[in-house]
Amino acid sequence: MQPSSHPQQNCCCRLEFPKRNGVVVSTQHHRREGATMLRPALACCKLYISEARNATALRAIERAAAGLRPAAVLVNAFPDDAYNRVGYTLVSPLAGGGGGGGGDSAPPPLHRAAFGVVAAALEAVDFGAHAGAHPRLGVVDHIAFHPLAGARLDDVAALTRAVAADIGDKLQVPTYLYGAAHGEGRTLASIRRQLGYFTPNSPGEQWRGAPDSSSLPVAPDAGPATASRSKGVVAIGATAWVDNYNVPVHTADVAAAKRIARAVSERGGGLKFVQAMGLTHGEGVTEVACNLLDPASVGAEQVQERVRQLAAEQGLTVGEGYFTDFSQERIVELYMQSAEAEASQQ
């Protein structure tokens, strides 16, 4: 199944719907004749967990992700064995102005679902034992909140700050804000650079274990001032929609992939609104992993072609790129299908 606005990709996203342990596997949609459902203001939360090889840990995390269904729905899981990393996408109506205030007795469902996933991941995964070909800051490397249909970025930012405070205070993980959730709009890339994110710490362009020191070069926005070796730290932010698009490069030479990534990225003088990393991705293959910060302006087709051109200049060929998630339109559609299916059973 391919995202509706992502025609070029071979999408290997794994759609999750409840079946075992509350996690869904069917995508069938049954609409009653004449039935309609108003579309609420929606937000999504993408959580990137530093684990893709331990099936027991993943089952525990996915049980937590499905625990608030139907109020919050797990619409996608994307594991990557080479990176030893999995991305989860949760969707829920954005209730109570985003932060659970205004007299609400409990935080919104998306807040509780995201917190539950983080808590389960911290319980199931030991950051000190992790190894993979993708950089990471902790057990929960990155959490991104995005407004979807009818939602405002300001409200999503308020929700993000509330979730970050709970992760820092209740789970004792140093937490760094970025984007609209940060007072000065700090970017994800900038805080990652300050924390040494992009530098491998193990031979073979691998990231392995936790840093030797628990001290942090930048004070966190929430949580303790030092990092636990078993948990690490987390970056959490709110932004407009971002597409993640990766292009395989047919070479084992990661230095070549890094040169291509640098040249294709805005930071290296390349395409506007594009961030890119060159990474190893399995035996004899590397990858240019891209964040498309404004996919309506610069999309996957432009990135694919530019990576192809840059690779050809080095005598290399590339594979067809792929997204790691559905389009935002498809994510909204999947949520509405799930909500309508739940309503039809009541």
Helices marked H in the chain: 55-65, 109-124, 153-170, 188-194, 254-264, 300-313, 328-344
Query: Rounded to a whole number, what is the distance in angstroms from the first to the last CA of the chain?
Result: 28
> What is the distance, to the nearest Å, from the Cα of residue 344 to the centroid of all Cα atoms in its chain?
31
Rounded Cα distance between 115 and 171, Å, is 9
Active-site positions? 134
Give the whole-angstrom CA distance, residue 60 versus residue 343. 27
Packing angle, helices 55-65 and 109-124, rounded to 10: 160
Residues 6+ apart with CB under 8 A from 138: 50, 127, 173, 227, 231, 232, 233, 234
In DSSP terms, which residues pair with 238 in a beta bridge? 145, 179
**Beta strand 42-49 pairing with 234-238:** unpaired
175-179 and 234-238 beta bridge pairing? parallel
Q: What is the rounded distance in angstroms from the CA atom of residue 239 to the CA atom of residue 151?
A: 12
Q: How far apart are CA 161 and CA 159, in angstroms?
A: 6
Q: Give the H/E segment covering residue 78.
A: strand 73-80
Query: Number of H helices and number of E strands within the chain?
Result: 7, 14
Kindly report the number of other CB atoms within 10 A of residue 110's CB atom: 28
Q: Which residue, among 279, 314, 273, 280, has the nearest Cα to 294 in the 3D structure?
A: 273
Residue with tokens 């034992």: 129
The answer to whether residues 161 and 81 touch, using CB atoms and an 8 Å cutoff, is no
